[in-house]
Amino acid sequence: MAVEMASQSQVLVEEKSSVRILTLNRPKQLNALSFQMISRLLQLFLAFEEDSSVKLVILKGNGRAFCAGGDVAAVVRDIEQGNWRLGANFFSDEYMLNYVMATYSKAQVSILNGIVMGGGAGVSVHGRFRIATENTVFAMPETALGLFPDVGASYFLSRLPGFFGEYVGLTGARLDGAEMLACGLATHFVPSTRLTALEADLCRVGSNDPTFASTILNAYTQHPRLKPQSAYHRLDVIDRCFSRRTVEEIISALEREATQEADGWISATIQALKKASPASLKISLRSIREGRLQGVGQCLIREYRMVCHVMKGEISKDFVEGCRAILVDKDKNPKWEPRRLEDMKDSMVEQYFERVEEEEEWEDLKLPPRNNLPALAIAKL
């Protein structure tokens, strides 16, 4: 009962005629997704899809964050208590939610007025409309945590222009609202002062046809200028370097660029890669590369295999170590193992993509059958 109450209060629901407004309400934790929140969201989204009176779903966050990610601290506690299977349940529900959103038959509008990271991207980017504002800060910071960009990121990052997705996914670079709009992670940009009016207008939508919401959003959207120092101005360098076959080659390509001209952005990029977990970098790159050729369902199934291996910690325990260094002890000094990129062999990377064998009752992620497979959700392999 107490749990039920918590999940009720952590996701607020408002009914405005044909529209449902969901508010992630865990402001102290920057709306990090707890297991209860994920279950509740999944339950609500499925119910709204069934309910023919619902035409549009708005998702937003209470406070200065939209959503700072999944509540991985709780997962790490489970792992440390020898119970990674609990963590597996968390991720399996989270990915299921991502899949339902990616194949949703009604329009989802996510209002990203603040921090959007990791799992926060997972509950927004798959939906039809993503509204960035001047307060938006987006990042996929997983490689610094010993994890990898999951929640279907291997699907959406790999579809960004050129090799921008590799850049964002490997370095954990932060993007602002203008950059999100430029690269396609956001579909619209609306100044935060106009959000209340926008929401009121959206509540008048009375049809499943997304063109109605689109028309309203288009009336509010702006085209902000990219900051002069924006990474998006460096797409040529990003494409030249992040297109390389391996992480090692990406870093040496960046280093070659750096020797040609001293440049703060390039050295910060190299620094970010050198600070990240070598194991994470390698599995992340491979995941994005595979994801580029797969549908969103296959991406999530693969990521679920990967995250189970990450939690099991047989190849590397960087996830626990990363969370310790960044979230718990906050010494920001993780001791990665393997320590160097060259110690993370191809055969070790390969293991993350295999089924989790010899584990009792472990199964691949089973996604619910969906009638509304959008063209992009279908791929082979």
Partner 1 sequence: MSEYRGLRRAHILANHILRSPSPSSNLSLTPEVCLQYSPPELNERYGFDVKEMRKLLDGHNLEDRDWFYGLMMQSNLFNRKERGGKGFVSPDYNQTMEQQRHISMKRILYLLENGVFQGWLTETGPEAELNKFALYEVCGIYDYSLSAKLGVHFLLWGNAVKFFGTKRHHEKWLKDTEDYLVKGCFAMTELGHGTNVRGIETVTTYDARTEEFVINTPCESAQKYWIGEAANHANHAIVISQLSINGTNQGVHVFIAQIRDQDGNICPNVRIADCGHKIGLNGVDNGRIWFDNLRIPRENLLNSVADVLSDGKYVSSIKDPDQRFGAFLAPLTSGRVTIASSAIYSAKLGLAVAIRYSLSRRAFSVAANGPEVLLLDYPSHQRRLLPLLAKTYAMSLAVNDLKMIYVKRTPESNKAIHVVSSGFKAVLTWHNMRTLQECREAVGGQGLKTENRVGHLKGEYDVQTTFEGDNNVLMQLVSKALFAEYVSCKKRNKPFKGLGLEHMNSPRPVLPTQLTSSTLRCSQFQKNVFCLRERDLLERFTCEIAELQGRGESREFSILLNHQLSEDLSKAFTEKAILQTVLDAEAKLPPGSVKEVLGLVRSMYALISLEEDPSLLRYGHLSRDNVGDVRREVCKLCGELRPHALALVASFGIPDAFLSPIAFNWVKANAWSSL
Catalytic residue list: 70, 119, 142, 150
For 166, list phi and psi in degrees, rounded to 5. Answer: -60, -45
CB of residue 309 to partner 1, shortest distance in Å: 16
CB of residue 335 to partner 1, shortest distance in Å: 29
147 versus 288: smaller Cβ distance to partner 1: 288
64 versus 159: smaller Cβ distance to partner 1: 159
Say how far apart CA 17 and CA 14 lie, in whole Å.
10
CB of residue 105 to partner 1, shortest distance in Å: 13
Residue 147, both tokens: 């994890």
CB of residue 274 to partner 1, shortest distance in Å: 21
SS3 for 181?
helix
Q: Which residues contact 306 (CB under 8 A, 6 or more apart)?
A: 148, 150, 283, 287, 352, 353
Say how far apart CA 353 and CA 218 lie, in whole Å.
41
- Can you state the angle between helices 164-171 and 247-260, rounded to 10 degrees? 100
Q: Which residues contact 202 (CB under 8 A, 6 or more apart)?
A: 19, 56, 58, 109, 213, 216, 217
162 versus 313: smaller Cβ distance to partner 1: 162
CB of residue 52 to partner 1, shortest distance in Å: 16
Say how far apart CA 255 and CA 123 lie, in whole Å.
35
Q: Name the site residues for partner 1 (rule: CB under 8 A).
A: 158, 161-163, 239-240, 243-245, 249, 286, 289-290, 292-293, 371, 373-376, 378-381
- Determine contact, residues 9/25, Cβ cutoff 8 Å: yes
43 versus 243: smaller Cβ distance to partner 1: 243
61 versus 210: smaller Cβ distance to partner 1: 210
